[in-house]
Amino acid sequence: MAKILIVEDDPLMLRMYQRVFTLEKYEVEVAVNGEEGLEKARSVKPTLILLDIMMPKMNGLQMLEKLKADPEMQKIPVVLLTNLAGKQDAETGLSLGAVKYIVKSEYVPKRIVEMVKEIIAGYTRNEIPQS
């Protein structure tokens, strides 16, 4: 089963996404900031990364840049999680190589799982990335 890395600093928000992806039988790894997220991405090689933007230590956009600069990880699809006010940053994220951004308050968790499913399906059809 696909492995999802969720990088999110709010513990309850993190637990909620962890819960729904676990219920959907995904393997879930978590990190609470960009620094930790980068380490986890390197060690667990996730199928897809769900990445919050506003985080302490290293924010989502900084982590995204580092990810895309690393030949080993640059092919992992990244979906940005944002709040309504962060749309501008999310657009920046797209130009940095994220495949999609999702405004957290606009979709219930199940919908987010569905969107992630579609993205992974698309990627596996094209046989990227290898995990």
DSSP string, 82-116: E-GGGHHHHHHHHHTT-SEEEEGGGS-HHHHHHHH
Comparison of 23 and 121: residue with beta carbon closer to another protein: 23
Exposure letters 69-98 (e unless 16+ CB within 10 A, then b)? eeeebeebbbbbbbeeebeebbebbeebeb
108 binds another protein (CB under 8 A): yes
Q: Does 110 bind another protein (CB under 8 A)?
A: yes
Residue 16 near another protein by CB under 8 A: yes
Q: What Rg value do the Cα atoms of the chain yield, rounded? A: 13
Query: Which x/- pattern over 20-49 shows residues binding another protein (rule: CB under 8 A)?
Result: x--x--------------------------
The reply on whether position 130 binds another protein by CB under 8 A is: no
User: Which residues in this chain contact another protein in the complex, by CB under 8 A?
Assistant: 10, 12-13, 16, 19-20, 23, 83-85, 88, 104-105, 108-110
